[in-house]
């Protein structure tokens, strides 16, 4: 491969090559992995705005004790729909669907994923799932069970639970098919010479993620079908009156939903592992350790679901085992943090925007991860279970972890994807505003939780008023930051300064060795890989 | 499919489609896995009731259906041998036998289910409520699991019909028969599930 | 990717023999459960079912003739299901 930074002339980029279709059909009929990645991005952006508005409504309700802008039923519906949208429509597809689709084939030196039509089909299923979620908002009123659909309430409530659960089921299907596609792609389509241990870390993280998508998602699928059977036929699987065990629902639900947290965070870690060496101009420290820890997280992460159920009345033996396993699964995450920091050590760091996001990711992720261990220890969890502490921890990991990595990846790959550069000073303003808002929003919730403020109530005691005001203020700041980032990116994608530079950041992987924006099939000639990844000469 | 992918060189990778099929089979195993966990938990909780409820299922019908599925599994496996021997007639015949056996299985299932429903046993029926919790759970699982299994049989039949037509039109031939093999793999999965459903519901009494 | 024609042709006879074996195992399973084995009935029935599925996986599904990666994946997934059941029973077995 040539390493010059000039562009090939006389090629058509994927954005210009439209397969002879017009208007929106250029997108919704294209099986090009890059266009599909962007389809997900646009759909998710729309959903994210809805989710953020719902979150803001909750924070406004909580700005003062008592009813502020909504009553209990509306509040229950708001946190349920917020959760369903954010979890099933945004963070679970999240990085794999957007950047995985876009970058995976390029990074392993392939022209597309293994099954391009199946890939487009997955997007359609995703849209169908989204439509079902919208349907659930009408009729008998939006679901009010929480995104966890806990039995027995989930089949007793009069609200529109069924379409929402069906939506989650359908979205699971989309997730499974994407995972299947990625595993086959990675097994079969790596460029010649790219052995497993020469593969970049983002594809590795997608590989681990894909296995969880494949093996955990069907469990929630069947569980939601059982709940549907419960609602429609009254079978009695989870109905204590008929001998069913609601706790079994919780087991089955978390057998999926805990690994799902790793579906969210593993690709985020993968993206961070791409950004940090590029901006430290240094080979990643402990490549193999990161790979192995990725697989270890994927594997052990499957066996820790019980830590969501400490106060549910599980047996002592199970409590003990799940707590132990939870502590074990923290080790590989810690290994990654050490590796990222060691990569930076003595590197020549340039504090470009993607690096700032990555560095703040590490900070946020460590808070989220360590508070996770607080919740993972049995005795403490009894006090903190179902308090605002859990909400804070969860948002530090899932929103802090995935969100910060997503924005980092977005800025990192932005010039490659759109062939334009974003406005760097606005991007920096957005980052700092967002980060300050984020910590101000969720930080006080740790304190509130320790003091005993329960989650999922529209009301609270007067003594919790102060921190809640700070938290709501933080929400407003964070949303301001989010709007700056969003508007900057949208404007830059349309009118930003054009760039055809192949490698604006000085990265080492294959995506930086093809023209910007990439041509339709990525490579004129499939590259032959002869050296390890992340090598700086 | 229309010519929406004109720009992609249609490159064929049988190993990839086989791997894809296997991965799909793994998700199916986990799908039923969730139900097997449920079965195990409730059997553990209500051993006596499960014992008695299982005696109400007809072992003969269950055994016949098991034999039918095993034979159909063999015929579809043989069809991959036939196609590799360039024997189109035998290939088609074997797929047809598999489809007929699948249909017989479903007919048996239909009579079995209607007999149970005729006796007042269906999910959420008043009789079950009277019989108690163990019976409710046993028959709930019975209808749910065999129902889901029957659904997979129907999907498998659709898939094998497509395969049949494509062999007929010689779209699938001795050097290009991955779809037949994948259809076969799916059919064996249906068989595998039944291998476990049969003793769990009919035999262990 | 030139291995599109790399297939092992299994003779009809093998399939026939495996079916015979599966039928015998089914018969054994039915016969064994007719006599009262009480607690062991479940174990025996599940062991026989597992043996049967091993044959289906190995011969009918060609695992025996395929690349090792399929065997490894299938084994790990069966193991995964087993561990999940064990962990679930850490709860239900010790309530």
Residue A457 lies in a domain: yes
* CB-nearest partner of A303 from C87, C93, C95: C87
CA distances from B120 to A357, B107, B126, B127, C43 (A): 63, 20, 8, 6, 32
Does one domain contain both C29 and C74?
no
pLDDT per residue over A427-454, tens digit each? 999 999 999 999 999 999 999 999 999 9
Q: What distance in Å separates residue B46's CA from the closest CA in chain A?
A: 9
Taking the mean position of all CA atoms in its chain, how far away is CA A447? Answer: 26
CA nearest C22 in B: which residue? B70
SS3 A454: strand
A vs B: CB pairs below 8 A: 119
Please, are residues A249 and A151 in contact by the beta-carbon 8 Å criterion?
Answer: yes
Helices (H) and strands (E) in chain A, counts: 18, 2
Q: What distance in Å separates residue C80's CA from the closest CA in chain A?
A: 9
Cβ contact B30–C29 (<8 Å): no
Radius of gyration of chain B (CA): 20
Residue A7 lies in a domain: no
pLDDT per residue over A88-116, tens digit each? 999 999 999 999 999 999 999 999 999 99
pLDDT per residue over B16-74, tens digit each? 999 999 999 999 999 999 999 999 999 999 998 998 899 889 999 999 999 999 999 99
For residue A401, the model assigns a pLDDT of 92
Query: Which of A:219-248 have CB within 8 Å of B?
Result: 219, 221-223, 225-226, 229, 233-237, 242-245, 248
Q: Give the model's confidence band at A11: pLDDT under 50 very low, under 70 low, under 90 confident, else very high.
A: confident
Q: Is 90 exceeded by the pLDDT of residue A403?
A: yes
Candidates A534, A129, A489, A78; CA nearest to A340 is A534
Candidates A239, A351, A72; CA nearest to B137 is A239
Residue A316 lies in a domain: yes
DSSP-assigned letters across all residues of A349-361: ----HHHHHHHHH
Retrieve residue A81's tokens: 């729909």
Cβ contact C92–A215 (<8 Å): no
Cβ contact B34–A252 (<8 Å): yes
Cβ contact B20–A184 (<8 Å): yes
Residue A529 lies in a domain: no
Q: What distance in Å separates residue A161's CA from the closest CA in chain C?
A: 27
Taking the mean position of all CA atoms in its chain, how far away is CA A196? Answer: 25
Mean pLDDT in residue range C37-63: 90
The span from the CA of B113 to the CA of B143, in Å, is 8
Cβ contact B136–A243 (<8 Å): yes
Please, are residues B139 and B123 in contact by the beta-carbon 8 Å criterion?
Answer: yes
Q: Give the model's confidence band at A2: pLDDT under 50 very low, under 70 low, under 90 confident, else very high.
A: very low
Number of domains in chain C: 2
Instruction: Please list every residue in chain B whose beta carbon sits closer than 8 Å to the beta carbon of residue A30.
Output: 4
Stated as kind and residue range, the H or E segment containing A471 is helix A465-495
Mutate to test the interface with A, among C70, C86, C90 (most CBs of A within 10 A): C90
Cβ contact B175–C85 (<8 Å): no
Radius of gyration of chain A (CA): 23
For residue A444, the model assigns a pLDDT of 97
Residue A130 lies in a domain: yes
Residue A454 lies in a domain: yes
Q: What distance in Å separates residue B118's CA from the closest CA in chain C?
A: 26
pLDDT per residue over A120-141, tens digit each? 999 999 999 999 999 999 888 8
Please, are residues A255 and C86 in contact by the beta-carbon 8 Å criterion?
Answer: no
What domains lie within chain B, and their CATH numbers? 29-203 (1.20.120.80)
Domain that holds residue C10: 1-61
> Which residue shows structure tokens 């924070």?
A59
Percent of all residues in chain A with a pLDDT value above 90, rounded to a whole number? 90
Cβ contact C92–A322 (<8 Å): no
For residue C32, the model assigns a pLDDT of 85
Q: Give the model's confidence band at A532: pLDDT under 50 very low, under 70 low, under 90 confident, else very high.
A: confident
pLDDT per residue over A293-310, tens digit each? 999 999 999 999 999 999
Does one domain contain both C49 and C12?
yes
Q: Is 80 exceeded by the pLDDT of residue A327?
A: yes
Mean pLDDT in residue range C21-50: 86
Is omega for the bond preceding A152 within 30 degrees of 0, making it cis?
yes
Q: What is the largest CA-CA distance in chain B?
A: 64
For residue C70, the model assigns a pLDDT of 96
Does one domain contain both C33 and C3?
yes
SS3 A118: helix
Does one domain contain both C54 and C77?
no
Q: What distance in Å separates residue B70's CA from the closest CA in chain C?
A: 7
For residue C6, the model assigns a pLDDT of 55
CA nearest C17 in B: which residue? B74
Which CATH number goes with the domain that contains A356? 1.20.210.10
Does one domain contain both C80 and C43?
no
Mean pLDDT in residue range C23-30: 94
Cβ contact A19–B24 (<8 Å): no
Interface of C to A at Cβ within 8 Å reads 1, 69, 77, 80, 83-84, 87-88, 90-95
Q: What distance in Å separates residue B115's CA from the closest CA in chain A?
A: 19
List, run by run, the mean pLDDT of 10-residue segments along chain B (205 residues). 40 91 97 96 93 90 96 97 95 98 97 94 89 93 97 98 96 93 97 96 85
Cβ contact C91–A251 (<8 Å): yes
Retrieve residue A399's tokens: 């929103």
Mean pLDDT in residue range A319-336: 95
Number of domains in chain A: 1
Taking the mean position of all CA atoms in its chain, how far away is CA B83? Answer: 23
Domain that holds residue A302: 27-513
For residue A5, the model assigns a pLDDT of 43
**Mean of per-residue pLDDT scores for chain B:** 92
CB atoms under 10 Å from CB of A24, counted, come to 8
Residue A536 lies in a domain: no
The span from the CA of B72 to the CA of B97, in Å, is 7
Does one domain contain both C70 and C50?
no
Please, are residues B51 and C45 in contact by the beta-carbon 8 Å criterion?
Answer: no
A vs C: CB pairs below 8 A: 35
* CB-nearest partner of A242 from B4, B33, B133: B133
Retrieve residue A104's tokens: 């995976």
Does one domain contain both C3 and C48?
yes
**Mean of per-residue pLDDT scores for chain A:** 94
Q: What distance in Å separates residue A371's CA from the closest CA in chain C?
A: 24
Percent of all residues in chain A with a pLDDT value above 70, rounded to a whole number? 98
The span from the CA of A243 to the CA of B129, in Å, is 10
Candidates A135, A217, A152, A154; CA nearest to A180 is A217
pLDDT per residue over A240-297, tens digit each? 999 999 999 999 999 999 999 999 999 999 999 999 999 999 999 999 999 999 999 9
């Amino acid at each position: 491969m040539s390493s010059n930074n000039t562009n090939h002339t006389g090629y058509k980029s994927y954005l210009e090559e439209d397969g002879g279709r017009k208007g929106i059909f250029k997108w919704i009929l294209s099986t090009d992995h890059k266009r599909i990645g962007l389809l997900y991005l646009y759909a998710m952006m729309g959903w994210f705005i809805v989710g953020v508005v719902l979150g803001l409504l909750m924070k406004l309700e909580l700005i003062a004790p008592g009813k502020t802008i909504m009553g209990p039923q509306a509040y229950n519906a708001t946190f349920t729909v917020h959760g369903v949208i954010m979890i099933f429509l945004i963070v679970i597809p999240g990085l794999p669907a957007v950047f995985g689709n876009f970058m995976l084939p390029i990074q392993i030196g392939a022209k597309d994923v293994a099954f391009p039509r199946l890939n487009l089909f997955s997007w359609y299923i995703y849209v169908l799932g989204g439509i079902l979620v919208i349907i659930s908002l009408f009729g008998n009123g939006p679901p009010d069970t929480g995104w966890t659909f806990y039995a027995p309430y989930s089949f007793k409530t009069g609200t529109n639970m069924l379409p929402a659960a069906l939506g989650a089921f359908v979205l699971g299907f989309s997730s499974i098919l994407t995972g299947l596609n990625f595993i086959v792609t990675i097994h079969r389509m790596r460029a010649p010479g790219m052995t497993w241990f020469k593969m970049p870390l983002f594809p590795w993280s997608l590989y681990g993620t894909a296995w969880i998508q494949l093996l955990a998602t069907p469990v929630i699928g069947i569980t939601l079908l059982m709940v549907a059977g419960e609602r429609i036929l009254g079978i009695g699987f989870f109905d204590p009156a008929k001998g069913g065990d609601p706790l079994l629902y919780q087991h089955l639900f978390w057998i999926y939903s805990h690994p799902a947290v790793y579906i969210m965070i593993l690709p985020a870690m993968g993206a961070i592992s791409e950004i940090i060496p590029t901006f430290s101009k240094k080979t990643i420290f402990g490549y193999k350790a990161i790979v192995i820890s990725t697989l270890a997280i994927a594997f052990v992460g499957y066996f820790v679901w019980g830590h969501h159920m400490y106060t549910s009345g599980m047996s002592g033996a199970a409590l003990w085992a799940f707590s132990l396993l939870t502590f074990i699964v923290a080790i590989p995450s810690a290994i990654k943090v050490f590796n990222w920091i060691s990569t930076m050590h003595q590197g020549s760091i340039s504090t470009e925007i993607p690096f700032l996001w990555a560095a703040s990711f590490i900070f946020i992720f460590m808070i989220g991860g360590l508070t996770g261990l607080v919740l993972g220890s049995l005795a403490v969890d009894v006090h903190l279970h179902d308090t605002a502490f859990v909400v804070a921890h969860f948002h530090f990991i899932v929103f802090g972890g995935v969100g910060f990595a997503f924005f980092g990846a977005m800025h990192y790959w932005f010039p490659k994807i759109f062939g334009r550069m974003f406005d760097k000073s606005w991007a920096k303003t957005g980052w700092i505003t967002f980060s300050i808002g984020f910590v101000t929003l969720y930080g006080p919730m740790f304190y509130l939780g320790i003091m005993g403020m329960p989650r999922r109530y529209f009301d609270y005691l007067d003594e919790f008023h102060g921190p809640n005001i700070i938290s709501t203020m933080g929400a407003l700041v964070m949303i301001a930051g989010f709007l700056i980032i969003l508007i900057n990116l949208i404007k830059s994608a349309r009118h930003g300064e054009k760039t055809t530079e192949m490698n604006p950041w000085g990265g080492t992987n294959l995506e930086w060795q093809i023209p910007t924006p990439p041509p339709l099939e990525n490579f004129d000639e499939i590259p032959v890989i002869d050296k390890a990844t992340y090598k700086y000469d | 499919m229309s010519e929406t992918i004109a720009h992609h060189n249609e490159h064929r990778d049988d190993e990839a489609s086989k791997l894809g099929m296997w991965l799909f089979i793994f998700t199916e195993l986990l799908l039923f896995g969730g139900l097997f966990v449920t079965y195990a938990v409730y059997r553990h909780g209500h051993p006596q009731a499960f014992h008695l409820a299982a005696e109400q299922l007809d072992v003969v019908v269950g055994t016949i259906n098991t034999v039918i599925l095993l034979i159909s599994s063999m015929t579809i496996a043989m069809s991959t041998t036939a196609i590799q021997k360039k024997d189109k007639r035998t290939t088609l015949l074997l797929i047809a036998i598999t489809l007929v056996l699948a249909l017989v299985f479903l007919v048996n299932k239909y009579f079995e289910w209607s007999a149970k429903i005729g006796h007042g046993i269906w999910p959420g029926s008043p009789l079950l409520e009277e019989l108690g919790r163990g019976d409710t759970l046993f028959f709930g699982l019975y209808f749910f699991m065999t129902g889901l299994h029957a659904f997979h049989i129907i999907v498998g039949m659709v898939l094998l019909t497509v395969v049949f037509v494509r062999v007929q039109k010689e779209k699938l031939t001795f050097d290009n028969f991955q779809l037949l093999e994948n259809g076969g793999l799916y059919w064996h999965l249906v068989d595998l599930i039944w291998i476990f459903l049969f003793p769990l519901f009919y035999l262990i009494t | 990717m030139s291995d599109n024609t790399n297939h092992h042709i299994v003779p009809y006879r093998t399939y026939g023999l495996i079916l015979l074996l599966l039928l015998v195992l089914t018969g054994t399973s039915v016969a064994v459960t007719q006599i009262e084995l009480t607690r062991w009935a479940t174990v025996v029935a599940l062991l026989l079912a597992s043996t049967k599925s091993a044959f289906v996986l190995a011969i009918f599904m060609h695992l025996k003739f395929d690349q090792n990666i399929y065997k490894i994946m299938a084994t790990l997934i069966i193991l995964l299901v087993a561990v999940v059941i064990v962990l679930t029973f850490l709860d239900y077995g010790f309530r």
